[in-house]
Amino acid sequence: MSEGVLDNPIWASLASRHRALAEAAAGAARYPAQVAPFLGVADAQLADEALRALVPPGDTALVLGLAPAVGAGWELRHLTDLAQMICRAPLPAPAPAADIVELGAARRDDVLALTALVYPHYFRPRTMELGRYFGIYEDGRLAAMAGERMGMDGYTELSAICTHPDFLGRGHARRLLGFLANDNHARGRIPFLHVSHENPRAVELYLRNGFELRRDIPFWSLRRAG
């Protein structure tokens, strides 16, 4: 699959790997609100009825890349441009991963507690249905985690790469990033991610660990009037 699918990642993901989760209308699709706040469109010039079928009055969805042309009754607001970064080759083997554990349903409360603290707004009660999540525990607490979110044939978005403030500076995020990036390469999938330019510490982490800037990609909010 061409790398161009990354220019419209939400739509590409909902039309492929996450098709079973998609709430869809002609030319548009979104994740259930309990999974993720994202909506994608196949074409900017889609019928208004498609958006109305997916976005209730007063609701807001988030759009990445291609945004729909909207008329009266909608507010499309450009929030920022995110750095879309990609890791095109496996990374040098990171430190041993013996303490990296998969975060399944039994650890869901730990994941929700950590993301509520350091990764709010984007992580929802059912977000873990999007892919695999891994973490490192220290002193019985979830110290850091990383996971998979959007995806399409040949590509996987890494997301929720975060560390509890009590455990910063110990290399946990770097090891989780390397582990998950290399695991996806081994499965024939190229990892990519999105990060705010206002988070230079994260940008630098990714640049130091095999990721490069692919493009700046616009991030929008789409609100339907109540």
Same domain, 90 and 77: no
Residue 98: predicted pLDDT: 83
Same domain, 193 and 137: yes
If you average pLDDT over residues 186-196, what whole number do you get?
97
Query: Average per-residue pLDDT in the chain?
Result: 95
Q: Which two tokens stand for residue 130?
A: 């999007």
Q: Which two tokens stand for residue 123?
A: 């992580």
Please name which of 39, 51, 95 lies closest in space to residue 221, comparing C-alpha atoms: 39
Percent of the chain with pLDDT over 70: 98
Print the domain residue range for 164. 85-216
For 198-211, how does the pLDDT look when each residue is reduced to its tens digit (9 = 90+)? 999 999 999 999 99
For 105-142, how does the pLDDT look when each residue is reduced to its tens digit (9 = 90+)? 999 999 999 999 998 888 999 999 999 999 999 999 99
Taken as a whole, the chain contains a residue count of 226
If you average pLDDT over residues 13-33, what whole number do you get?
97
Q: Which two tokens stand for residue 193?
A: 């991610």
**Strand, helix or coil at 65?**
coil
Residue 149: predicted pLDDT: 97
pLDDT at residue 1 above 80?
no
110: region left, alpha or beta (phi > 0 left; psi from -120 to 50 alpha): alpha
Same domain, 171 and 212: yes
For 143-176, how does the pLDDT look when each residue is reduced to its tens digit (9 = 90+)? 999 999 999 999 999 999 999 999 999 999 999 9
Same domain, 49 and 112: no
Same domain, 17 and 47: yes
Residue 94: predicted pLDDT: 64
Same domain, 49 and 32: yes
pLDDT at residue 185 above 90?
yes
Give how far the C-alpha of residue 70 lies from the chain's centroid of Cα atoms, to the nearest Å.
25
**Strand, helix or coil at 15?**
coil
pLDDT at residue 95 above 80?
no
Residue 121: predicted pLDDT: 85
Q: How many domains is the chain partitioned into structurally?
A: 2
CATH number of the domain within which 95 lies: 3.40.630.30
Provide φ and ψ at 217, rounded to 5°: -125, 130
Same domain, 38 and 147: no
pLDDT band at 46 (very low <50, low <70, confident <90, very high): confident
Q: Within 10 A of 64 (CB to CB), how many other CB atoms are there?
A: 23
Same domain, 104 and 153: yes
Give how far the C-alpha of residue 220 lies from the chain's centroid of Cα atoms, to the nearest Å.
14
* Cβ-defined contacts of 47-53 (< 8 Å, 24+): 49/25, 50/25, 50/26, 51/25, 51/222, 51/224, 52/224, 53/25, 53/28
